[in-house]
Chains A and B, each alone.
Chain A
Amino acid sequence: MFEAQEVNAEHKDLIHDVAYDFYGERMATCSSDQYVKVWDQNSEGKWNLTSSWKAHSGSVWKVTWAHPEFGQVLATCSFDRTAAVWEELVGETPGPGERGTRHWVRRTNLVDSRTSVTDVKFGPRTQGLQLATCSADGVIRIYEAPDVMNLSQWTLQHEIQCKLSCSCLTWNPSLSKNHPLMLAVGSDDTNLSAGGKVFIYEYSDNIRRWIKTDTIASVTDPVHDIAFSPNLGRSFHLLAIATKDVRIISLAPIPDNANTQSGLNKLDIQTAAQFDDHGCMVWRVCWNITGTILASSGDDGCVRMFKMNYINAWKPVAVLKGDGSHISNEGHRSSVSSAASLPTPPMAAVSQTARYIKLGTISQSREAPWH
């Protein structure tokens, strides 16, 4: 039911983050080896390395793409206390491939943090080019590039003290007149008595400041990742949290209850789902493009997928697990190329066609229904 294409990432250490661009055609990877690499998918589906550069002088924790409306732009954050914005330049002379020779230049280095920068995310596209970072000493910073054609100028717009060490942040992608700009930040502080570990910040147009509107009190364990779901025109927001389990929290603005000063509504916070399938610490959560499937990664070495059914109840649907003990032999491999009958060179690197391996399963029981 699943097949996989292996791309040797050529990093010298574990990969911390992989980010795909808006179209899923470009891939950026970052690692403890301080390098960032960019990969492009060719028309046959094969991923090729197109750029690789030493981006920081410490582990690169996260890499993220800006919306293509702003060009080919990446942001990275690192243990070296900085975050950086990178832009791809296309050379004048067209080289191999239609795009010509390319390289990435550092447009800015954001050096305001005094500790490791743990997460970096671009704001919603409609707000122009905004960038939020958070750091281990508990400071959230919002930067903005006022001229989207000139990415070397970034101004630090807001600095929010969070008190607890921040590990992750997420922008709420749903924007309408009813929803102000919203950010959620998670802390991996291990002190349970320090209270809730997820904080909701909203931007008040009235006083032009970010205000902490809520703390999710039900999550007191360290939080490692956090992600707002894409919004399908719902009146409430969904927030996935990776903590000791997978949590899905719904945040519904309570109408006609606006704070007179900030103009912000209070939120009704409910736990929509909670899964301890991992049975241990969860450290990544990721929504698919329509927000219908959540993928979570945990210390059990598994990626688990959860899907919402038609009555808004969440159910686990599939699990991925790493296991090299029965690496498939040639017989299991199948090429998507129709030219399979032709004698193909044994070196996979020579071929420009993507090779997919059918993934084996360990449980023979039948697949769970998706509804």
Chain B
Amino acid sequence: MDATLKTFIIPNELCRRAGIVGTWVRVNELGVFPSQHIKTTNSDSVSLYGPSDASVFNVRQQVVLFEPILRKLVNEANGIFLSVQELMGSNVPDYKSELLKLSRQYRSIIRACLENLQEETVRAKATYKEELQNYITIFYSVECIWHLCEILFVENIPGGIVLPHLLEWVRFHFPKYERNAASLLREDVIGAELQPCYWETVIGSLMQGRIELVQALLEVHSSADGKPFQLAIQTLRTMPLYNIYGGISVSEFNLKWKHWVLDTQSKIEAKMFSSERHLNLVMRLAVGDEVAWGEMQTHREPWYAFLAASLFFKEPTVKAFELGQFARQCIAKVGGAVKMRHLDQVLLASMELDIIQVIKEIQQMSENGWFVSHLVDLLYHAGRLEGLYSDETKVIGSRLRESFLLDYGTLLMGHHSLWQVGLNYLDHCPTEGLSTIELLLPALPLKSEARTQKIIREAHKRDMPQIVQSICKVHTMDSISKGRLGNALTWGLKSQDGGFTSLIADKFLRKYKETGVLLNEDLLDNLGSSMLISDRLIFLGKYFEFHKEYRLKNYKEAANILISLLASKLTPRYFWDTLLCDAINLLENNVMVISSTDTYTLLHSLEEKCELPELKDKIDLIRLGAARNLSRALLYEMQLDKKYT
């Protein structure tokens, strides 16, 4: 058994005694109930546990992303995700810098979300507050990792000189010193060192590589005009800073840098700063004095801030691929791997450029795959998932990306209002996306007609007529069960299924036979060409027309329709008697409306159907009517013939 597997407890005694069975409800929900298997051969008796009080437990995954406060994050990330897909599909030559922009957009929505959470935390009550703080921790880590990954994997750093970006990353996540420095400088008072945070801020700024800021802070010290301070400011001003665009090569820079270090060291050794204890520490740190740095290791800063600082003063031209080795050294110095939190581990893995490890780790950040899906997609498009190996098997980047997108899209499909967002992700899964949609889309509950229309639209968009048909049929059956035949017919027509529509038309005809009322006449009146989908529906439509004409006293037209129906072979078996009885009135009409030929047609049908039991007591009546009409018609037609001859 896998020791890392989590076991969740169903708090129920019967479940423990009898055992449990699980069965899926929907995407993220499982029904669990106490049960025990009974072999087919056993006799049927009350179980050991009966009579008992059995419960069903509907177990669902807690989904952080479904919290209303995170809704914006989900929606906006979807927008950027779509932009990424659009960018990659549009053949932009400079797509890498565009990807970087989009990566920054992702981060900016995380930061907006964090701000939002922070505001809400202030207002929130105890338990909810705790939850919000949890989210803040999660998304803070997400942003921190994303930023580093962006620097290392997305950004195209000229010459691989990663340090300036690393410092920027540290400054971004530890803005405390910058804030303090700003307030110290703004106050513009003499004796800033009397503020308790003064030296902390100076050293903090120094560690973040903000040399100019350090100089400015030293200027506001009350003894700034003194010799040690002036010398320190002067020395810091001449400190060479590596800049890839500075026009000098790395070796040239290193030479300058070494020279400056030697020069400054000699000043320290000459005890030129020793009158000011803190200032002396600042200068010793600046030249990378091991003893001074050793003192700083116990500082409250996390190892990665310390790493960036020490690189700045010891290895300013460090390359990205060397980062991992320095990171490990740094972790060893600040207290080893024992204290490594999850965040630390992910950051270390990123610095070692171990993308697979990063992906493995960030799956466990309990934000339901939001992070991993978007980041992996971005890394895939940035070409960083190629040629990777996991447990000695080659990783297929596209498969990896798709599996995360499938999971994330499926998760969102399980939500009553985020399902359309989920579709957007599934749409971009080239191998299994469409079939997943085919399974999930029809299973969305059809709570309202508006929602159904939305679902149908999405199915149409993806060319899935079979889903549309199925949804329409479900609605039809639902309407039938509620006795709303008109509604049923409307949905039935939308299903475009002839056989199925016939069944509904049958319902109308049978209902008419029962009650003598044709339902939903306005609908039948407007069938138009849509009735062509099924013979039975044509019959129903025509039969309604017959009624309409008859009611308008257009007996001639009514008779024509009736005769054509009799001759058409569309008449359902159960409806013959109704149709033939309808003929009686027309045969006995004051004005002759059925010609002799038509009467023959009628009689022909009658003889064919004379076996029908339900016609038994009417058949003589119809025959009589037909005979009388025939005599009428023959006489009339003969006179007509004479007139024209």
Contacts and interface: CB of A to CB of B under 8 A. Distances in A.
Interface in A282-321: 283-284, 286-292, 295-303, 305, 309-311, 316-321
Contact of A295 (B9, B22, B53, B393): B22
A366 B364 contact: yes
Given A88-B481, A232-B436, A322-B34, A301 B21 contact: no
Given A68-B474, A136-B41, A149-B503, A301 B16 contact: yes
Contact of A90 (B31, B51, B55, B481): B481
B52 A188 contact: no
B439 to A, nearest CB: 5
A284 B21 contact: yes
Given A284-B22, A289-B439, A328-B11, A12 B52 contact: yes
A67 B473 CA distance: 10
Contacts of B1: 277, 279
Interface in B143-182: none
Interface string A139-173: 00000000111000000000000000111000000
A218 B111 CA distance: 55
Contacts of B58: 4-5, 7, 47
Interface stretch (B227-235, B400-408, B622-630): B400-408
Contacts of B74: none
A96 interface: no
Interface string B380-424: 000000000000010010011011101100100000000000000
A69 B473 contact: yes
Interface in B46-86: 46-47, 49-62
B444 interface: yes
A15 B9 contact: no
A354 B234 CA distance: 70
B44 A59 contact: yes
B125 interface: yes
Contacts of B445: 23-25
A156 B127 CA distance: 60
A148 B512 CA distance: 20
Contacts of B15: 301, 322-324
A284 B507 CA distance: 42
Contacts of A370: 363, 369, 407
Interface residues of A, number: 117
Main secondary structure of the interface of B (DSSP, over half): mixed
B22 A70 contact: no
A268 interface: no
A356 B11 CA distance: 12
A320 B10 contact: yes
B480 interface: yes
Q: Which of B32, B360, B440, B446 has the most CB of A within 10 A?
A: B32
A294 B257 CA distance: 62
A232 B22 contact: no
B607 interface: no
A7 to B, nearest CB: 5
A231 B439 CA distance: 9
A206 interface: no
A7 B29 CA distance: 14
A4 B37 contact: no
Contacts of A92: 483
Given A318-B8, A371-B403, 12 more contacts: A4-B32, A9-B56, A15-B33, A18-B23, A68-B477, A69-B474, A99-B482, A165-B41, A233-B432, A320-B10, A360-B8, A362-B9
Q: Which 8 A-B pairs have the closest CB atoms?
A: A322-B15, A324-B13, A13-B50, A310-B403, A24-B26, A303-B22, A233-B435, A283-B37
Interface of B: 1-27, 29-41, 44, 46-47, 49-62, 125, 127, 360, 363-364, 366, 369, 393, 396, 399-400, 402-404, 406-407, 410, 432, 434-436, 439-440, 442-446, 466, 470, 473-474, 477-478, 480-483, 500, 503, 506-507
25 contacts: A4-B58, A5-B58, A31-B54, A71-B480, A88-B481, A90-B483, A165-B40, A283-B21, A284-B23, A290-B436, A290-B439, A297-B21, A310-B403, A319-B6, A320-B32, A321-B9, A322-B9, A322-B13, A327-B11, A357-B11, A359-B8, A363-B7, A365-B3, A371-B360, A371-B403
